[in-house]
Amino acid sequence: MEADVDPRVKPWEDGARGELCGKYSDVRRELCERAAAE
C-alpha cells in the first residue's frame, strides 16, 4: 500500500498502522504489520 514509506521509520510508528498494530506485542505486531502491508 505505502511503498514510499521512509525505511528509517519503524512500521508501528507510522500513522494509522501504528494505531492498529502498536497495541500488540512484538511478535503479534509483526504479523499485524505483514497483514497491513498486503
- Separation of alpha carbons 18 and 7, rounded Å: 15
Does residue 4 belong to any structural domain of this protein?
no
Does residue 1 belong to any structural domain of this protein?
no
Does residue 31 belong to any structural domain of this protein?
yes
Would the pLDDT of 4 be above 80? no
Residue 38: predicted pLDDT: 77
pTM (whole model) above 0.85: no
Residue type, 19: E
C-alpha cell at 33: 504489520
Does residue 3 belong to any structural domain of this protein?
no
**Tally of structural domains, the chain:** 1
- Separation of alpha carbons 29 and 4, rounded Å: 21
Residue 29: predicted pLDDT: 74
- pLDDT tens digits, 24-33: 667 777 887 7
Residue 28: predicted pLDDT: 78
Does residue 28 belong to any structural domain of this protein?
yes
Residue 34: predicted pLDDT: 84
Does residue 35 belong to any structural domain of this protein?
yes
Its domain, for residue 20, covers 10-38
